A and B are shown apart, each in its own frame.
Chain A
Amino acid sequence: MTNRKCAVADTRPYTEAHAVVWVDIAIIFERKLSSKQLRRLGAVFNKALPELGLVASDVDGHGDGRRFVFSKKGEDGSVTETLHIHDNFVHVLQSEYRGWTVTRDSAIERLAPLIALLPDAELPAGCLGMAFRDAFLQDEPKKYDIVDVFKPNIYLPRFVFDAGRLWDIRLEWRESDVPKPWEGAVSRLSVDAEVRRASPKVADGKKSGQFLHVSEITHRQQVMVRKLKEKPQLSWSVDMVRDWLDYLHDRNKALINELLTDAMLERIGLKE
């Protein structure tokens, strides 16, 4: 182990108040959506989303009925949120984090037309998913020090604390001891430390194309039931989704509290 610094040096959260790059909330079906189901959902969202500022940006994108995409842009032209329907899920990705309650309520508002349809046996949804991506940036990659962001914890093996600037970790764990009506949960954690170029859209006066060190945490979780036909107790509603998103959010918060230094937790408003 090298000498450890206690204070947060120049490494900073993604924004001045939050580390969140995006939040992704998903309702996941038992099976891949058929073309008919995709078209049905596409029509439902095409009716409901424009008044919330999301417009179809890629309806039936490849002409093969594989997906629908709705997106919303901010005043600077950045895409701030998207709703995707494809494969076996509908999910809302928000890339402007506005605190948990606004983020949660906004996702539920967008998913509400689907939630209303879920008691329909033709759309069997058995999983709810949530993912957070957090990032911490060091403008001078040579100055990167892992302890500016992470403290020793149960998720990161000790060797990464001596691994230098570039490393990554992938973990996945499954739980069967989750509250009813769910029967199981899967969590996937990836942590990447790497050097990247800043995108052309540059905030905070940074030069376009500048190299920066990025520590990125992606935590995906989904709770699920199986053999849905035998589980009439899984009754989807807006209140049910809100409660379970709070549950998943609490789990994410506990994980982030375990990973980050106290100083960094304080900078992103999570220090108790």
Chain B
Amino acid sequence: MYGDACRTNGSWDASGWLENEPGGENWDSVKEGETFLQPSASYSKRSSFIGDLRSKASQALKSQDEFISAPTEQAIQSAQVFINRLPEGCLVFRMALSQSGEINFFHGNDDDLFQILIDAEGTVSYYGVVDGKEVGDSNLPPENLPYTKLLSFVDRNK
């Protein structure tokens, strides 16, 4: 079934990896077939947040006027990157759009908060108290957010 990737006669061989189907003989851990696998809990949660973000942004776009700004495309993209990069243990949070189009994420509660703010340029600022110390920074790309600090905050508050 699995031939060489390239045959010696020079023609492209499309067998091998192209035919390697989940559920086949080499797949103990991912079974498909007659049943249909549901997404994992963390995949469902992330997707639910991203769906909610898109829906809120779409609503804001429809209702924007001289006093209310919808999030920019850069802000929405950064927010999605942020959600996708969150460790699995950090998938409980509140999300809110401000009237100026900023996207805010809140971990914890009003007394003990870790806040992430994404502005119109898509850059990220954060503030929180982790292990008794104030932490914060601004103008970061979402890839550079210190996710381990956020995870420490979440773990401490469990």
Contact = CB atoms under 8 A, between A and B. Distances in A.
Interface residues of B, number: 41
9 contacts: A15-B47, A16-B48, A17-B51, A22-B22, A58-B29, A84-B26, A203-B41, A226-B12, A269-B50
Contacts of B89: 75
A224 B5 CA distance: 9
B69 to A, nearest CB: 21
Given A78-B41, A198-B38, A186 B18 contact: yes
Interface stretch (B60-68, B80-88, B98-106, B114-122): B80-88
A82 B4 CA distance: 22
B12 A184 contact: yes
Interface string A46-73: 0000000000011001000001010100
B38 A67 contact: no
A28 B16 contact: yes
A197 B36 contact: yes
B5 A29 contact: yes
A87 interface: yes
Contacts, number: 174
Given A93-B22, A127-B6, A224 B12 contact: yes
Contacts of A75: 41-42, 88-89
B50 A91 contact: no
Interface stretch (A97-105, A107-115, A254-262): A97-105
B40 A78 contact: yes
A227 B22 contact: no
A220 interface: yes
A80 B40 contact: yes
Interface in A1-22: 14-18, 21-22
Given A58-B28, A186-B14, A14 B39 contact: yes
B44 interface: yes
A26 B12 contact: no
A202 B38 CA distance: 6
Contacts of B43: 15, 74, 80, 95-97
Contact of B35 (A31, A93, A174, A198): A198
A82 B50 contact: no
A222 B87 CA distance: 31
Nearest to A213: B36
Interface in B16-33: 16-18, 20, 22, 26, 28-30
A166 to B, nearest CB: 14
Contacts of B51: 15-17
Contacts of A129: 17-18
A206 B44 CA distance: 13
A253 interface: no
